[in-house]
Amino acid sequence: MKYLPLVFFLLISLSTMGQAVVIVRVEDSLTHEPVIGATVRTPTKPVIGAVTDVNGVARITNLPGAIRALTVSALSYQTAQFAIPVKTSPATTTSGDSTQRDSTQLAIGTAPDTLVFRLKPTTEAIDEVTVTATRTNSRLEDLPIKVEVLGQEDMDEESAVVPGNVSSILGDISIIHIQRTSAVNGNQAIRMQGLDPKYTQILRDGLPLYEGFSGNLGVLQIPPLDLKQVEIVKGSVSTLYGGGAIGGMINIVSKTPTSEEPEFTALINRSGLKESNGNAYYSQRYAGGKTGLTLFAGYTNQQAVDVTGDGFTDSPGIRQFNLHPRFFWNPSDRTKLNVGYAYTNEHREGGYLPALEGTQPTAYRNITDLQRHTVDFNASQNLSDANVVSFKGAVSTFHRQNTDYQKLSDGKQSSVYLEANDLVRFGKNQFIGGANLTVEAFRKNSDSTRLVDYTYQTLGAFVQDDYQLTSKIAVQAGLRFDHHNTFGNFLLPRLSVKVKPSDPWTVRLSVGTGYKTPNLFVNQTPGQLGVSLIFSRLLPIDVTTVKAERSVGTNADIAYNKTFENGLSVQVDQAFYYTVVNSPVVSTFAPVSGNLGPYTQLVNAPYNLFSIGTDTYVRLEYEDYELYLGYNHTLSRRNGADNTNLPLAPQDKFSTTLAWENEHFRFGVETAYVGTQYLYNNQRVANYWFFAGAAEYHYNEHWRLVLNAENLFNVKQANYETVVTGPVTQPTFRPVWAPLEGRIVNLALKYTL
């Protein structure tokens, strides 16, 4: 009996021979905090494993010696497999007169080291978005300047919910207000931070393509199926791309080919507003990834509809065709080139419906035909791992004919944008410097307007440095100098600071300057009630008396971003902003008149504009649920003798989205509230709510069927006032401050290969 313990010990030793002990600590790859309740197990049968404790530590005591990897999984994290490191053992073998040390064993034993495995959160795709609008192609969380990104998943969903344009998804963001600028042609513009639409700069793939005459119609008619993401930079960022980005900047980013497997998506849609859409997208990489192609083609056919029964169209007739091929060539790992061509052909008509149908030809019609051709390129060369030289640019032509009040305007704009920059990373710095040339040439054809030809040229140079001062503080400083051939010189400094006091918290502060040169064709709010912006009533700019607008703006925000052990992901952002625009250019009545009444001229207003406000953003994700809440409060005023509110700038906007998704279904409900909105005579209009809902069914990974309803409760401006007055030959339209079309229901079928 006295040998029984020894026998028992020998039996245990034999049974565990070839087995090992492993201690694992599981951490969050971003925060390095312990992951509680993670499962650590062998990847093959028999399955042996353990669960991490409150310190993120798991201990496996009977791991077979042949196991060389472990699988780790946890709620709200991506399941991953990690290799178990091996080390050379001191064991020896003898062969003849020589002694060899060549055997290996697991890097664990009776007193093993702790292995650290780091899991990536499932929300990391949001955190690791690369932003292109800030020129440095940095990760979203690394930027000292605040950027909000609507990513690929948002674009995929929106491509079936509202296939024809991106205005709907942008309008879901509380700080953005989509303003319809015409009661009959359906044109829309974007307000940010309470300022007029002309203070929002829109880019396509980092290129300012929509300035002047070419930017007045249909910019938001870009189908989301062609897009990778939309980047929204809030506040004054004119230092990055020149004049115009005073209230903010929106960069619309096209898709790129990602796989040698072909990607093909086709979509058809029909709405109750008599709109039909057919869109198709194809992409693929070839030759081992060295070349690639994307191709988008889309067609929209929308009939003119009178919703309110007053005889005038509330939704215009539209026939639009878009074609957008892009070719990608990477001859080496250090050289990249892509070239694209975009073509848009559109016919748009609105007005008195019997006139459009031909039964009353003398009544009011607004008819527009346009063609847009754009060729763009982007080339980059990595001179070293820390130095990238880039060249990009675009050449475009835009031709538009418009008939309004029986008056024809016919013009063509040619535009050129060229840029060269050098991005250098050294130490804690990320420095970029460059120069760009912008040309905008307008040529008038024979028509009934008093417009004149002009050519604007802007030559600019810029520098920007992102400096990581400490592990918690980053600084971004920028300076731009622009010379405009008509309106002079502009020096634009900007400074941004990011402080990260702890892992969940980020604080940003940014101060920047901006400018906007006068332009007849830029969407803007008239300086007084009744001023017309139709082409036949515009007078040329008097460049001897009208000067450019200048601005100073500051933005601050406090952000909290954390994923909890139970899988709940929380993002909260509280922003504050203040902007002043000096000597804004406005439209007023000219001292001369025509048969349609007084002409319109541009002048510098005798007042300044200021906008001050807060923006609150909350996003919650838990299992299959997602909730977004946004509230924007803005006070925009004319700081002068009358000190009135800026027209058509809502002081309160609340937006919310609730979505649920499982393997086959997705449901979403959206709500928006627009309140405290004023017109030109400081008259306050009614507040209103906007509700929308969508249901999506995934048959399999290929087919999706989407039913969407916008404006469920049929809110219309006509419910509050008469929108059109006067005779049908020369009607007068009230400013648009609420939806005109009412309820819209559409059904879309999407196929993805």
Average pLDDT (77-100) is 59
pLDDT on residue 100:
39
Higher pLDDT, 458 or 125: 458
Lowest mean pLDDT among 31-35, 277-281, 578-582: 31-35
84-88, 162-166, 526-530, 622-626: lowest mean pLDDT where? 84-88
pLDDT of 54 over the 80 cut:
no
Q: Based on the domain organization, do 237 and 354 belong to the same domain?
A: no
Domain-embedded: residue 2? no
φ, ψ of residue 698 in degrees (nearest 5): -95, 110
Does the residue 345 lie in any domain?
A: yes
404 and 477 share one domain: yes
Residue 79: both structure tokens together: 């399941």
Residue 400 forms part of a structural domain: yes
Considering only 122-136, 494-508, 628-642, 658-672, which range has the smallest mean pLDDT? 122-136
Query: Which residue range forms the structural domain that includes residue 160?
Result: 124-251
Are residues 180 and 85 located together in one domain of the fold? no
Q: What is the CATH number of the domain that holds 744?
A: 2.40.170.20
Pairing assessment for the beta strands 248-254 and 200-204 based on DSSP bridges: parallel
Please state, in angstroms and rounded to a whole number, the distance separating the CA atoms of residues 111 and 88. Answer: 16
Residue 127: the pLDDT is 45
Q: Which residue has the higher pLDDT, 21 or 108?
A: 21
Q: Give residue-wise pLDDT tens across range 310-345.
A: 999 999 999 999 999 999 999 998 999 999 999 999
Looking at the fold, whether 673 and 546 belong to one and the same domain comes out as yes
Q: Tokens 């878009």: give the residue.
A: 322
Q: Is residue 1 part of a domain?
A: no
User: With bands split at pLDDT 50, 70 and 90, how would you rate the model's confidence at 17?
Assistant: very low
Same domain, residue pair 283 and 411:
yes
State pLDDT tens for residues 519-566.
988 866 777 788 888 888 899 999 999 999 999 999 999 999 988 878
| Residue 197 and residue 86 share a domain | no
Domain boundary among the residues 68, 93, 119 is at 119
Give residue 108's pLDDT.
Answer: 43
**pLDDT for 194 beyond 70:** yes
pLDDT beyond 50 at 89: no
- Residue 94 reports pLDDT greater than 70: no
Please indicate, yes or no, if residue 11 is contained in any of the structural domains. no
pLDDT of 86: 65
Q: Are 533 and 667 found together in one domain?
A: yes
Q: What is the pLDDT of residue 26?
A: 92
**Owner of token pair 């700069």:** 201
Q: Which residue has the tokens 């990238």?
A: 388
Rounded average pLDDT over 391-406: 94
Tokens of 177: 């207000």
**Any domain includes 7:** no
Sign of CA dihedral 157, 162, 168, 170: positive
Q: Is residue 2's pLDDT more than 70?
A: no
Residue with tokens 């939309």: 230
Residues 70, 152, single domain; the answer is no
| Mean pLDDT, the chain, integer | 87
Query: What is the per-residue pLDDT for 74?
Result: 85
DSSP label at 214?
A: G
- The torsion angles phi and psi of 226, rounded to 5 degrees, stand at -90, 0
CATH of the domain at 223: 2.170.130.10
Whether residues 153 and 105 share a domain: the answer is no
Q: How confident is the model at residue 93 (pLDDT cuts 50, 70, 90)?
A: very low
- Residue 87, burial from CB neighbour count under 10 angstroms (0-12, 13-18, 19+): exposed
Q: Cα(174)–Cα(161) distance, rounded to whole angstroms?
A: 19
- What is the tally of structural domains in the chain? 3
392 and 463 fall within a common domain = yes
Task: Let me know whether 229 and 333 are in one domain.
Answer: no
535 DSSP assignment: G
Q: One-letter amino acid identity for 279?
A: N
Residue 322, Cβ density class (10 Å: 0-12 exposed, 13-18 middle, ≥19 buried): buried
Query: Domain end: 251, 269, 286, which one?
Result: 251
Using the 3D structure, point to which of 228, 251, 274 is the last residue of a domain: 251
Query: How does 567-580 read in b/e, with b if 16+ C-beta sit within 10 Å?
Result: bebebbbebebbbb
pLDDT tens for each residue of 408-438: 999 999 999 999 999 999 989 999 999 999 9
Residue 343 token pair: 């073509």
**How far, in Å, CA of 84 to CA of 104, rounded?**
12
Place of tokens 């449901």: 667
> How would you class 426 by CB atoms within 10 Å of its CB: exposed for 0-12, middle for 13-18, buried for 19 or more?
exposed
Domain membership flag for residue 668 = yes
Task: Mean pLDDT check: name the lowest of 107-116, 133-142, 280-289.
Answer: 107-116
For residues 182 and 89, state if they share a domain.
no
> What band does 137 get if pLDDT is binned at 50, 70 and 90?
confident
Evaluate whether residue 6 is within a structural domain.
Answer: no
pLDDT value of position 112? 61
CATH code of 108's domain: 2.60.40.1120
CA–CA separation, 389 vs 334, rounded Å? 10
What global pTM score does this model have?
A: 0.81
Three-state SS sequence of 121-158: ECCHHHHCCEECCCCCCEEHHHCCCCEEEECHHHHHHH
First-last CA distance in the chain: 74
Share of the chain above pLDDT 90, in %: 58
Residue 77 reports pLDDT greater than 70 = yes
> In this structure, are residues 673 and 650 in contact, taking their beta carbons and an 8 Å threshold?
no
Q: Considering only CA atoms, which of 601, 640, 395 is closest in space to residue 518?
A: 601
pLDDT at 531: 86
CA torsion sign, 526 to 199 to 636 to 723? positive
Token pair for 186: 């359906």
What is the token pair recorded at 612? 């001050």
Mean pLDDT of 238-259: 88
